[in-house]
Amino acid sequence: MSDSGSLKISVVSSLGMIPVEGASVSVSYTGDPGEELMELTTDSSGQTPVVELPAPPIDLSLEPDPSSQPYSEYNIRVRAEGYEPVLISGSEILADELSLQPVRMDPLSDPGEEDSYVDIPAHTLFGDYPPKIPEEEIKPVGESGEIVLSRVVIPEYIIVHDGVPSDSTAPNYWVRYKDYIKNVASCEIYSTWPENTLYANILVIMSFTLNRVYTEWYRNQGYNFTITSSTAYDQKWIYGRNIYANIDVLVDTIFANYLSRPGVRQPIFTSYCDGDRVSCRGLSQWGSKYLGDQGYSAIEIIRYYYGNDMFINTAAAISGVPSSYPGYDLGIGSSGEKVRQLQNQLNRIARNYPAIPTVTADGIYGPATAEAVSVFQRVFNLPQTGVTDYATWYEISEIYVGVSRIAEPG
């Protein structure tokens, strides 16, 4: 493996958003788990330093090649006093990309219990998965009141059924909406692709998801979940998998967007496929990569596959946040109630994440508030500007809600 990628591991308790400090993290090749490559320790934010790891040449992720795996796979074992050990197998490292590996640890109940185990199977562009069953892009809306929502709302959680719809033994997971989109995008496309290609694919993934939410597709069939992890019915989602830093930031920036057609209220059900092994009526993932190479913008890629009347829309509301974005960036010199709210939220987050300095909640955005925001951005993988932009505002809101709760569902 001639190239390298990087890895950062974040460890939190499964009971509330509490970082696990001082956890011991060992990394080894998945193919040779007995040969430990490095031992790391988490800081007060539950995070390891960023480390470099060997990866296959980047070119392998830029062209479809079923014979050459374009990423390397690593086992990650995490131990911490008072918690059940966790073993993650198959965390994927792409050349020149920062991989973010989340780890959730359950409090120890039985000292003799085996490790909690997370298995990350092959990426959908490399592994063998069933193709999508074709569906109409606009779902019928009857007079029976099936459509509960009168407007498009970004949900706080997606309930993911980890199997085909009819498999009653498959577990359901409550997943925060942005985390769900980041996971699916990291499963479905390679983060080495052009940014406009990533942007287009993420828009397609979000619109697909919000169509399921808006139409209550599975609930109207008697199921108690939003979407499945089956590629035949929906899109791939893998419990506990790693995501990529550039996908992470991009989703944070555009998460309230989806795709629309004139005169259609529901988000468009945007089918897609890899475009190499499987063809479909919709976006070709590999084809979108080549269009990105040629300089196509995200909306030009979208319109290439779905027609010129497709446009990017923004949801009317975002669930689960204390207050909406003020409509402009907050920085040094800003003042008022939105700044005070931001300061109070940062101070509450700092109780769980003590690397973030506490500030005086005086409604004035001075250097101390800018520093607290900058540290927050570093901890949660946002560009470190010290300015509270759209992505930072909603990330602070989401983390604030997370740390304020005793425990999350699921």
Q: Are residues 89 and 157 in the same domain?
A: no
**pLDDT reported for residue 374:** 98
Query: Is the CB of residue 325 less than 8 Å from the CB of residue 359?
Result: no
| Amino acid (one-letter) located at 216 | E
What pTM was estimated for this model as a whole? 0.96
Q: Are residues 187 and 310 in the same domain?
A: yes
Q: Are residues 42 and 181 in the same domain?
A: no
**pLDDT reported for residue 226:** 98
Identify whether 286 is part of a domain.
Answer: yes
Q: Are residues 269 and 395 in the same domain?
A: no
Instruction: State how far the alpha carbon of 236 is from the alpha carbons of 21, 187, 219, 375, in Å.
Output: 32, 6, 20, 33
**pLDDT reported for residue 1:** 66
Identify whether 145 is part of a domain.
Answer: no
Cβ-in-10-Å burial (0-12, 13-18, 19+) of 404 comes to middle
320 phi, psi to nearest 5 deg: 80, 15
Q: Are residues 159 and 289 in the same domain?
A: yes
CA angle 119, 121, 124 (to 5 degrees): 150
Identify whether 226 is part of a domain.
Answer: yes
Measured CA to CA, the distance from residue 29 to residue 51 in angstroms comes to 14
Please report where in the chains the tokens 């925060």 appear, as a residue.
176
CB-based contacts of 410: which residues, under 8 Å, 6+ apart? Answer: 157, 159, 172, 173, 174, 175
Identify whether 205 is part of a domain.
Answer: yes
**pLDDT reported for residue 192:** 98
Q: Which among 95, 119, 143 is the end of a domain?
A: 119
Residue among 45, 51, 47 nearest 9 (CA): 47
Identify whether 270 is part of a domain.
Answer: yes
**pLDDT reported for residue 111:** 72
Cα dihedral sign, 180-192-230-137: positive
Q: Which among 262, 290, 318 is the end of a domain?
A: 318
Sequence-ordered alpha helix ranges (H) in 256-336:
285-293, 298-306
**pLDDT reported for residue 255:** 98
Q: Which among 71, 100, 119 is the end of a domain?
A: 119
Measured CA to CA, the distance from residue 347 to residue 339 in angstroms comes to 12
Region of residue 395 (left: phi > 0; alpha: psi -120 to 50; beta: else): alpha
Instruction: State how far the alpha carbon of 209 is from the alpha carbons of 62, 160, 182, 233, in Å.
Output: 26, 11, 12, 12
Q: Are residues 250 and 178 in the same domain?
A: yes
Q: Are residues 223 and 112 in the same domain?
A: no
Sequence-ordered alpha helix ranges (H) in 145-258:
177-188, 195-215, 245-254
- Cα Rg of the chain (Å, integer): 21
Q: Are residues 310 and 354 in the same domain?
A: no
Measured CA to CA, the distance from residue 349 to residue 356 in angstroms comes to 8
Q: Are residues 311 and 343 in the same domain?
A: no
User: For the stretch 299-325, what's the b/e string if a residue is b when 16 or more beta carbons lie within 10 angstroms of its beta carbon?
Assistant: bebbbbbbeeebeebebeebeebeeeb
Number of domains making up the chain: 3
What is the domain-level CATH number for residue 34? Answer: 2.60.40.1120
Identify whether 129 is part of a domain.
Answer: no
Q: Are residues 205 and 291 in the same domain?
A: yes
Q: Are residues 313 and 375 in the same domain?
A: no
**pLDDT reported for residue 143:** 46
What is the domain-level CATH number for residue 359? Answer: 1.10.101
**pLDDT reported for residue 109:** 84
Residuewise pLDDT in 10s, the chain (410 residues): 679 999 999 999 998 899 999 999 999 999 999 999 999 999 999 999 999 999 999 999 999 998 999 999 999 999 999 999 999 999 999 999 999 999 999 999 877 777 899 999 999 999 999 999 999 999 986 544 444 457 899 999 999 999 999 999 999 999 999 999 999 999 999 999 999 999 999 999 999 999 999 999 999 999 999 999 999 999 999 999 999 999 999 999 999 999 999 999 999 999 999 999 999 999 999 999 999 999 999 999 999 999 999 999 999 999 999 999 999 999 999 999 999 999 999 999 999 999 999 999 999 999 999 999 999 999 999 999 999 999 999 999 999 999 998 544 44
Q: Are residues 314 and 350 in the same domain?
A: no
**pLDDT reported for residue 114:** 77
Identify whether 135 is part of a domain.
Answer: no
**pLDDT reported for residue 142:** 55
Measured CA to CA, the distance from residue 321 to residue 342 in angstroms comes to 12
Write out the residue range of the structural domain in which residue 36 sits: 3-119
Identify whether 124 is part of a domain.
Answer: no
**pLDDT reported for residue 110:** 78
Query: Is the CB of residue 377 less than 8 Å from the CB of residue 396?
Result: no
**pLDDT reported for residue 407:** 43
